[in-house]
Amino acid sequence: MEHLTPYQKALNLLHQAITPFGFVAAVQEQDNYKRVWTRDGVITSIAALLSGDALLIDTAKITIQTLFDHQHASGFMPSNVSPENGEASYGGTSGRADNPSWAVIGLCAYTILTGDERLWQKYQEEVKQCFTVLNSWEFNGKHLIYVPQSGDWADEYIQHGYILFDQLLRIWALRMACKLTPNQDWASKEAAITNAVKTNYWNHDPLVNAYSPNLAHQLKDASKHYWLMGFNPGRIYTYFDLQANVFCLLLGMGDALQNQQVLHFLLGLYNRKKSLLPSFYPTIYDHDLDMEALKHNYAYAFRNHPDYFHNGGLWPVWNGWLVAALKFHNETELADDILASIHHSNAKADLFNECFHGTSLEPCGVPNCTWSAAGAIIGEQALLNNQFKKLFDLN
């Protein structure tokens, strides 16, 4: 194994994660990870599709089929599916508000990157159900879905409400679907969500046509250098959300000045860290008010100690998408540095840990985690500038 490149080792881990039902989230059982998860499975499938590896591409297809074949009658998608018996789980204390978007993204990515439209045609009704349930989760018809706590990937963090990252996934899913099947209702909804994002998630001065009255008087505490993490009826989240800002760059949410501000912030954060970038910044410490909400939200054991897990932890998967966004915006030197950090981190200890400590950089979370390998593959493929652009060049 010593002679293999980091990229080849990442591909090998994806091969180890193959089951008859698709890609599992980790190759050893821990905390329910050895299942086919919608979110993890789609991101791993996108990496597989970009790799050009025939067996991985076939497994991506099987993963997507498993997810859509287990769609709930109400339209929402499974949290995960057991590769042992095909039993589906639809979430724990709360459901997964990001999964309908991820499922459509995965199906569209498969169709766009392979040219095989058979799955797209097969699951048309299921796609419509995904978009219908997302519409219902607006609750008020104002174009933004309300995400419950534990309702997306950062399921042990503090956020709930109108979380930006989930709005962006919905925009991306609608754009991809319209690319494959022009649909005026989908196009109109995508335009309305995009307008709501541009209006409400940047600290404009003055803020015009705000979604919620609390935005205007709380924005004094919010940064003007990056997109807001989200808000709810009681507060604005002023933390930097790496995932949301990365997808704003990929989806073209910002104008030239906003993009420049975000890229400048990313560079400054990297210069302070000299490592992978944290998914949420700054870290919540024991003396901070938000620690009270943070410490009670966990599935198996409390993990969000300062600089650990979601709370300032470093995730190779999201840094892989960061490499892609930096490449899109011609920040190739920083993109190369981040990709090198991904490979360096993935090589530590048990290889391909789920995340890394924000200050010590030591491995934490689940080992042999498939989407950590996927982050490396996505980053590498984005730098090659080949198939990757097709996922976002949707006009």
Interval 191-220 mean pLDDT: 86
Domain ranges of the chain: 6-391
pLDDT recorded at residue 2: 61
Peptide bond into 316 cis (omega under 30): no
In this predicted structure, the answer to whether residue 166 has a pLDDT above a threshold of 70 is yes
How would residue 211 be classed by pLDDT, with cut points 50, 70 and 90?
confident
The answer to whether the peptide bond before residue 282 is cis (omega within 30 degrees of 0) is yes
Q: Are 77 and 100 contacting, i.e. CB atoms less than 8 angstroms apart?
A: yes
Q: Say yes or no to pLDDT of 1 above 60.
A: no
Pairing state of beta strands 88-89 and 235-237? unpaired
d(CA 325, CA 334): 11
Does the pLDDT value for residue 209 go beyond 80?
Answer: no
Summarised one tens digit per residue, pLDDT across range 14-48 is: 999 999 999 999 998 887 899 999 999 999 999 99
* Residue 262 near residue 249 (C-beta atoms within 8 A): yes
Question: Which residues, listed in sequence order, are joined to residue 162 by a DSSP beta bridge?
Answer: 231
Distance of CA 198 to the CA centre of its chain: 19
pLDDT at 221 over 60: yes
Mean pLDDT of 56-82: 97
pLDDT band for position 206 (50/70/90)?
Answer: confident
CATH no., domain 6-391: 1.50.10.10
Closest CA to 61 of 99, 102, 109: 109
pLDDT of 235 above 70: yes
Q: At what angle do helices 54-69 and 99-114 cross, to 10 degrees?
A: 140
pLDDT tens track for 262-285 = 999 999 999 999 999 999 999 999
